[in-house]
Amino acid sequence: MRSPRSLERFYEATEQIVTIDRDSAPRVLFSGEDLLLEDLPIGTRVIYPRPPVRGLPNVKAAIRQAILRPHGCDPLHAMLRPGMKVTVALDDISLPLPPMRTPDVRQQVLEVILPLLADSGVDDVHLVIAVALHRHMTEAEMRRMVGPAIFEAFYPDRYYNHDAEDPAGNVTLGTTAHGEAVILNRRATESDLLIYVNLNLVPMDGGHKSVGTGLTTYQGVKAHHTPHHIRHSHSYMDPEHSEMHRSVDRIGRLIDRELKVFHIETTINNRMFDGPLEFLMRREEDYTELDRLKLAGMRAALKGLPPAAKRRMFQAIPAAYEVIAVHAGRTEPTHAEILKASWSQYAVDVDFQADVVIYGIPYISPYNVNSILNPLLVQLMAWGYFFNFYRGKPLIKKGGTLIITHPCSDSFDPVHHPSYIEFFHRLLPETRDSAVLEAKYERELAENPTYVHLYRTGHAYHGAHPFFMWYWGENGRDHVGRVIAVGADNAHVPALLGWEVAETLSEAVDMARSTHGRSAEIAMLHHPPIVMTQNLG
């Protein structure tokens, strides 16, 4: 039997929710590329990520096992015939975040399956990055993702980015019973076998979304990336309760009927930081003297650096993620197994909803790897991703107040996000109404020849992408009452987003209490790493 002291230590190590007391340590919050150290009000419940799930000891062995014992279909080697045409589609650089240390899991999967294809007499193999409307990956990023040997063997003729705007490169496969057009990459549709190599970072990813969204066109994405679909997704991290995933699944089932698709799905743990930054994975109570010293040193160094240098520094640190599960086979049974593993890493049970929720917004989102988290992406993180990190009931009560920490700088990357600039500075001042933006302007920017050219020949997100980023905050906007931005370096960006500003966190809390009263329940999601709440009561 454990002693009371031992039980206390056990509880502290495993319990994911810490309630702030009079003598609690201040909490570390990201604010873009800066780290804040803030005292939270007494009674605030801070929700921490689960400790990293143990990684698989031998990833390649797990990949071999997965393709030998797939879910719902024959093993991969039994599907191969000499002379057949195979396309291997890969998730792009938006997964995982930040990019993982090399070898990337996609490289490890390819190192298993490409020799198998070659040994089976399959020479006509193309590797297509399923970027959909994301920016095309650069040569250096493509090399890093698959390793130099595969890169040299396949790039550029047989290893390339999907082009959603190539009129000859995409074909219509059919239409679902709900009228959703199913349009796919021509090479994929003309292949005898399509293998999709996925990396699930969060439960929203993977499954039918991989092929149906990653290899389609603007018209194909448009079927489910609408304000309506997002508004009726509760949340889009929970596919069973997501209107968007219902549409994605209908499209995917049609694809599975028409094409032979073999999925290899993988998922990783949440070991985002290690080495000198490992202390960021710990609770503030558990910081050693050295950790506190590191934090102080890091904050002092960051304070003196310009934003671009801070960004480069953070983006240069790859994450120490470890693969925790690999499954292969038919889309649905494979994805169901991966979802189980993913939830086991992220879900933290809660039995309450808070009036006020605090998020520290970090420097990265899926759409600004090696780039700037511009204002539209800041709102995506607040109203979109972080709000949607729940299963069951949202962490924040309907009409609650969201407090975010981020400088909200009016700064955009013209190479990656040219259409975002027009969206933010031309369209948003006119209206924040998603329905109006969709009806009046979405097609205009989607078909803008400049943006089409930049998407196809450069490294720009598609002209329609900023609209989707705005829609992705739709259920958050619908649910949350107020947003207060702490530490904004300007007034106009928060004003354009409809946010209020506060200079300090305590000022923001006071503002929130003016709405919800002195007894307002306050909670904080302590990330990164990723944590999601599960309130099924």
Contact 234, 243 (CB under 8 A): no
Kindly tell me which of 134 and 397 has the beta carbon lying closer to other proteins: 134
Give the whole-angstrom CA distance, residue 476 versus residue 5.
42
Residue 421 within binding range of other proteins, rule CB under 8 A:
yes
What residues form DSSP beta bridges with 402?
Answer: 357, 483
Q: Out of 4, 57, 167, 179, point to the residue binding other proteins (CB under 8 A).
A: 167
- The footprint of other proteins on this chain (CB under 8 A) covers a number of residues equal to 18
Q: What one-character DSSP code corresponds to residue 70?
A: -
Q: What's the token pair of residue 46?
A: 């801070």
Residue 418 CB, nearest approach to other proteins (Å): 5
Residue 210 within binding range of other proteins, rule CB under 8 A:
no
Give the whole-angstrom CA distance, residue 282 versus residue 319.
16
Q: Out of 19, 450, 504, 514, point to the residue binding other proteins (CB under 8 A).
A: 450
Residue 453 within binding range of other proteins, rule CB under 8 A:
yes
Residue 485 CB, nearest approach to other proteins (Å): 23
Residue 433 within binding range of other proteins, rule CB under 8 A:
no
Residue 454 within binding range of other proteins, rule CB under 8 A:
yes
Question: Beta strands 170-175 and 323-329: pairing type?
Answer: unpaired
Contact 112, 63 (CB under 8 A): yes
Kindly tell me which of 379 and 448 has the beta carbon lying closer to other proteins: 448
Judged by phi (left if over 0) then psi (alpha if -120 to 50, else beta), residue 25 lies in beta
Residue 241 within binding range of other proteins, rule CB under 8 A:
no
Residue 418 within binding range of other proteins, rule CB under 8 A:
yes
Q: Out of 58, 457, 504, 514, point to the residue binding other proteins (CB under 8 A).
A: 457
Residue 286 within binding range of other proteins, rule CB under 8 A:
no
Positive or negative, the Cα torsion across 69, 70, 71, 74? Answer: negative
Q: Out of 82, 304, 449, 517, point to the residue binding other proteins (CB under 8 A).
A: 449
Apex CA 392: angle with CA 391 and CA 398, to 5°? 110
Residue 140 CB, nearest approach to other proteins (Å): 16
Residue 451 within binding range of other proteins, rule CB under 8 A:
yes
Residue 421 CB, nearest approach to other proteins (Å): 5
Give the whole-angstrom CA distance, residue 400 versus residue 413.
32
Contact 266, 323 (CB under 8 A): yes
- 82 exposure class (CB count in 10 Å sphere: 0-12, 13-18, 19+): exposed
Give the whole-angstrom CA distance, residue 100 versus residue 322.
9
Length of the chain measured in residues: 537
Using CB under 8 A, which of the segments 61-69, 452-460, 491-499, 505-513 binds other proteins?
452-460
Give the whole-angstrom CA distance, residue 474 versus residue 239.
17
Kindly tell me which of 79 and 446 has the beta carbon lying closer to other proteins: 446
Residue 447 within binding range of other proteins, rule CB under 8 A:
yes
Using CB under 8 A, which of the segments 39-47, 236-244, 298-306, 414-422 binds other proteins?
414-422
Please report, as ranges, the residues that interact with other proteins according to CB under 8 A.
165, 167, 412, 414, 418, 421, 425, 447-454, 456-458
